Chains A and B, each alone.
Chain A
């Protein structure tokens, strides 16, 4: 049920991010979600796209170092406490959340949460048990 997240190594200097987004824009890669983590030394851009293979190829051709990993994407119920209910489901199952970020579905206008966990299957079954709506890689384009 998971999504495939692409991580890209970036130098922490002015323009580094812009150069990467230009590569993706030039190749008309449609990003569904984007997040940037950084230290004073370097950064990691994390992106979700429909066509993972194409995006990785384009980035590699431009000499970027990438890695692809599984992440859990889940819809955030549009009610007060919606985010909390999702996070609580993961926490109650004793699963450690390494990091997370949110994005908005362009078509649905709904909010989604991407969670990075060590055990993707365990997180997904904990969320399903609580009635959460999980997103699959194939569904990314339709959100």
Chain B
């Protein structure tokens, strides 16, 4: 479908598509098999200026918004979301700085992130704090002109590979959710190390690791916003970035459709191509309809976010929720259409189905997205009565 993209948006889409097709597709199976971080591809994306799509020009970016970023993420995801998450997670790490950073912090860090010279990552989750970020145990204590951070973050995408981390830690545990703060921590800071690299079901080329803080001292000026704003930073960051997960989902679903349509035209059983069976056509029809609906929603939400409204939580959660559920279903059906071949590692849909599951889990599980949407519905309804 034509979404009436501007010339610039079409250029972004074409460039990301070309990189995905020419540079990512040929190596995706190997990256998955070897669980190897896609550095070479990150460098290509950096040279192509794609890391700075949503970063203002004054900080070395391209000056686009969430929508431009979504277009690039979708194209990369069409061939491999292990690669696209490594790209997108740098954005997740950058948003706290973009949204809450001082001019100095922005100048210093955003330009590095925009150029792709350094990757970023976002550290919120801990062993005891998943859906419930209130369970955060990592602490940061001011000592002179430095904060001393202690604790362990878990399952941080780009962990070990990224050089700029935005991390949530408790500065005042007694104040509960108002006692958290956000910090910028650079790789190489004494007392900051990485735990083991996780072995995962899917997105195996991406790096998922622990961030270990052992009396890690960061300068006071690395505090993002003010003390006590940590969870606000986290929530606003996720509001901005969730449509990106939606785009991963749309791209992945489209990639699976691309593969199985081609296969269904070639594969012959009962003396005819299996695509001539209505049962197959109907599955494909549903897959395509759902994917297009997801795309339309994600695009609409991303553009809505770029109009800078006050509250985007509900719309942003919807984009992530709907698209990721679609991606899961579509990839399961893609394997079904390809039968036993679909189940084999030789064909890409096997990986796509494994990869899809993460989209329903990270950046807030889909149950949590429904909670967010539900809370917004209640709030809106209550507001109307007055």
A and B found bound together: no
Give the interface of B toward A (CB within 8 A): none
